[in-house]
Chain A
Amino acid sequence: MIFFQFLANGISYGSLVALVAVGFSVIYRTTKIFHIVHGVIYTIASYFLYSLFVSLHLPLLLSLPLALGGGILTGYLVERFIYVPLVRREASGGIYFLSSLGVYIFLVNLIALIYGNEVKILSSGIEPTVNIGGVILTRIQIFQIFVSLLLFLLFFLFLNRTSWGKLIRAYADDPVLLETRGVNPYKVRAFVFCTGSFFASVASVLSSLDVGMDPHVGIGAFLHGAVATIIGGVEKVEGAVLGGYLLGILQSLVIWKTSARWAEAVTFGLLILFLLFKPEGLLGERRRVEE
């Protein structure tokens, strides 16, 4: 029975990882940027929520959308003022990654400077729990599971059924060809960064409502999201979802069987195994990653 408890915990954590992973994956697949700023957007959305909800005493239902908006805006500004000039200069992968790293360092320390390094929590009350056949989950955990499922479903429909979804897939395949068809590629890119940042922000607020935040939560969330993306396969957004849930469940089982201390080592050990033996991920098609 205890197995199902850990499985349920794993699924609720996995849905957060999957949210971050879907955001990272849509940005990475479309723009080929190893967007480490994704982690800081995760951090920033939580702190927006903290400022609005705790410092300004706004109602939660108003603070949540504003915090999400703040995360999306940050993602957009980074694209507009950091990446776009580099695209215009036709920079290559290394420069994007290093610029992204610079933005990450800058913003994380700005947050630490403003809010301090200690953990901040949003509410001190005890979360009501629900008992489903012996498995006990808090209300927010159930919320995490259902909100992310709903968002994944909507996002797949969006990607596969709408013209904007088609544009995103087209940009991922060949940005130059898309431009010759009279589409403004910067619009598509901006939209992709907003979408990706939206997913990171949702994961962020859902997590901070549960366990609070500190300025360094973002890098862990980002790395788990990136690992989930690789495990599931970069080619398809479904891969990121699958990878996210698998990683969440795996971590939960490691915590159950050994201790929380080894969860990180197992996660990154798994990443290295995948990079070695199945670099295309679970859902990807076999191709060379050397080039």
Chain B
Amino acid sequence: MNYLLHILIMINIYIPLALSLNLLVGYTGLLSMCHAAFYGIGAYTTTLLMVNLKVPFFPALFAGILFSSLLSLLIAYPSLRLRGDYFVLASLGFQIIVFSILYNWVSLTRGPYGIPGIPKPSLFGFEIDSLPFFFLFSLFFAGITFLAFRSLYSSPFGLVLKCIRDDELATIAMGKNTTFFKIWAFVIASGFAAISGALYATYVTYIDPTSFTLDESIFILTLVMVGGAGNLKGPLSGVVFLIILPEVLRFLGLPDTVAPNVRQMIYGGLIIYLMRKRPQGLLGEYRWR
């Protein structure tokens, strides 16, 4: 039972990541390779406030969202003027810089030693320390994210983003300031990634920079690409499928020494296959051309 709850909590933690990256990949047409950076910024901001300044969970979470969104502005404005490969490279660069800061600014982040003993969140003086409660807690955030993105995707704002993805020049011709919309998409996506960071940190109660590497960014992108981009059920199916897959492999009796590599090879193979045969992913809507 606890094992099952753990998997469900991990799915809940990854839902905001996948849905927010979908806003960039599937709605705005931006292949962002730095989502783990915002995930990490959210996790570290929340953690440092909770551990060092004894701030309660909700204000710390709020600060994490705010800080992640603010930092995203720093990268969004310059790199959104670039398109295609240059944007990919800029986002890769940002990912590596953020990881490098988390890893090397030892006096603030404790670098490779990580931060242990992160307190569990508490709600009205009630500490959420058991798995079933944490599951409900994470489900609450996954649910809020789901509802937020559902209304966002079908809002006029979401339509303009889709329009940018399909034909940016035409969108400009219709009098929309596309840079403004892309920056907002970036800011919103980064804020939601920070929620996942805060949940992850308080769930595992220990963080170190290796959870927020380029590989993690690639994994989040894989979630969206395998499930499919451009609607809600695509990324959701990607999260469920790719979080459960390792557990299925475990039941198939794959030894733990080779399991991570085999899993990654399956991800890689899936991407190659889907790009060739089914660019919209399992249940997605947007076909990469």
Contact = CB atoms under 8 A, between A and B. Distances in A.
Contacts of A65: none
Contacts of B221: 101
B70 interface: no
Given A94-B31, A109-B264, A268-B94, 14 more contacts: A34-B89, A91-B275, A98-B275, A101-B268, A105-B268, A109-B265, A268-B96, A268-B97, A269-B97, A272-B79, A272-B90, A272-B97, A290-B82, A291-B83
Nearest to A90: B289
B39 to A, nearest CB: 18
Leading 9 A-B pairs by shortest Cβ distance:
A106-B268, A102-B271, A105-B268, A268-B93, A102-B272, A109-B264, A265-B100, A113-B261, A109-B261
B7 interface: no
A110 B289 contact: no
Contacts of B92: 223, 268
For the complex, would chain B's binding face be called helix, strand, loop or mixed by DSSP majority?
Answer: helix
A92 B276 CA distance: 12
A230 interface: yes
Contacts of A275: 78-79, 82, 86, 89-90
A102 B269 contact: yes
Is chain A's binding surface mostly helix, strand, loop or mixed? helix
A104 B82 CA distance: 24
B288 A94 contact: yes
B171 to A, nearest CB: 14
Interface residues of B, number: 45
A113 B262 contact: yes
A24 to B, nearest CB: 11
B262 to A, nearest CB: 7
B218 interface: yes
A94 B79 CA distance: 17
Contact of A99 (B31, B82, B262, B271): B271
